[in-house]
A and B are shown apart, each in its own frame.
Chain A
Amino acid sequence: MEVLTPRSLDEALRLKSENPQAVPIAGGTDLMVAINFDRIRPNAVLNLNEVPELRGWSRANGTLRLGAGLTYAEAMREPLAGLLPALAEASRTVGSPQIRNRGTIGGNLGTSSPAGDALPPLLVAGADVVLASVRGERRVALGEFVVGPKRNALAEDELVTAVELEPASAAETFMKVGPRNAMVIAVVSLALRAGEELRAAFGSAGPVPILVRAPRDDADAFPERVAEAAAPIDDVRGTAAYRRHALRVLTRRALDRCLA
């Protein structure tokens, strides 16, 4: 195995194009588990921790840019937490303090799990994923970036560099069902943004996180619409029927919270 540690984004993109098989590692909270248990043995890993361009977040012309290396702990801090409350709430539910200190938004996108807790809040915020390679930069709507369970639109020479989205202009929230408060993979999760339009996105209730929209006047019918849009399965964490029911309840509660 080889460890490549670029010190700039240009170097990272060059190394990725020269070593397309190199597996990026940011916080390592997904990848190290796989390596520790010998589930994968990559020929090379690309350590993104020393790439300053991937860190932090910024705001220009009203658009927020979250670096791929933004951690959950950072997303929970003001002033960002006030600009993206649902992402902050979702971040608070991730793992434990140790996991939130290391785990990144870029890593959640890289994993593209149907249960990824950053995905629903980013979806309701209309996020674009910024992908870069030596060939240039492109933006893909988050809904098109995740193409299946743990599958995404990244080309082999590309990295996620950032996510671009609009700050919350209306009330928004995030809710997650699980057996305890910490260390829980969502049985089902829901993000809601209640502006002129109602936008809900859920996790763990289909192969990919899905965005459901409706006019604000249709709030009464919205919980049913969200539940119908789901394609849940029975698994060790819960049944499909339970997930659909929980989505209905979460949407109702989220609406109560946001429209109050």
Chain B
Amino acid sequence: MKIELTVNGEQREADVWEGESLLFALREKLGLPGSKNACEQGECGSCSVLLDGTLVCACLVLAAQADGHDVVTVEGLGATGEPHPVQEAFVEAGAVQCGFCTPGLVVATVDLLAHSPQPSEDEIREALSGNLCRCTGYAKIFDAVRLAAQ
């Protein structure tokens, strides 16, 4: 089936299988591999995107449900050579090791700071509780969020 949606501000069309996820459509049909696929069951957050401005796991949205809606992926946050301030903070704080979790964490952090520009420690932990990182131990990720909030 055909779906039409706005992705990173651009009107896009994709031919999708009825049962496929928005994550699969973004990566395999729309040429946007920034959102990562690690679990396909909502546990890891590496596929986090904004759907109509709301943070969701793209693996749990049926691509067909995104028809007519607005999606922002990590690719839509900064441009090549012009990273988003949150991306810069992640680099500066050393919050990136293998980098697999980074796109999801960046999107989740952008969402957090949009709602709460000066988040408390608890708010940061709560906001990122749906994003798993197997490398950093999280301390540098929290540093990055604090840095981005400054």
Contacts and interface: CB of A to CB of B under 8 A. Distances in A.
A3 B17 CA distance: 10
Interface string B32-73: 000000001111010010000011110111101101000000
Contacts of A181: 129
A97 B62 contact: no
B108 interface: yes
A61 interface: no
Interface string A1-16: 1110100000000000
Contacts, number: 91
Nearest to A25: B62
B130 A97 contact: yes
A227 B43 CA distance: 31
B127 interface: yes
Given A41-B19, A45-B18, A95 B130 contact: yes
Given A3-B1, A97-B55, A98-B56, A32 B21 contact: yes
B108 A97 contact: yes
Interface residues of B, number: 29
Contacts of A99: 42, 57, 60, 130
Interface in A90-111: 95-99, 101-102
A200 B82 CA distance: 55
Given A1-B17, A3-B64, A32 B59 contact: yes
A181 to B, nearest CB: 7
Contacts of B21: 32, 35-36
A93 B1 CA distance: 37
Contacts of A97: 55, 108, 111, 126-127, 129-130
Interface string A34-48: 011100010001010
A49 B65 contact: yes
Contacts of A2: 18
Contact of B42 (A1, A5, A25, A98): A98
Interface of B: 1, 17-19, 21, 40-43, 45, 48, 54-57, 59-62, 64-65, 67, 108, 111, 126-127, 129-131
20 contacts: A1-B17, A1-B19, A3-B18, A32-B59, A33-B60, A36-B59, A45-B18, A45-B62, A45-B64, A47-B64, A96-B129, A97-B111, A97-B129, A98-B130, A99-B60, A102-B61, A182-B126, A182-B129, A183-B129, A183-B130
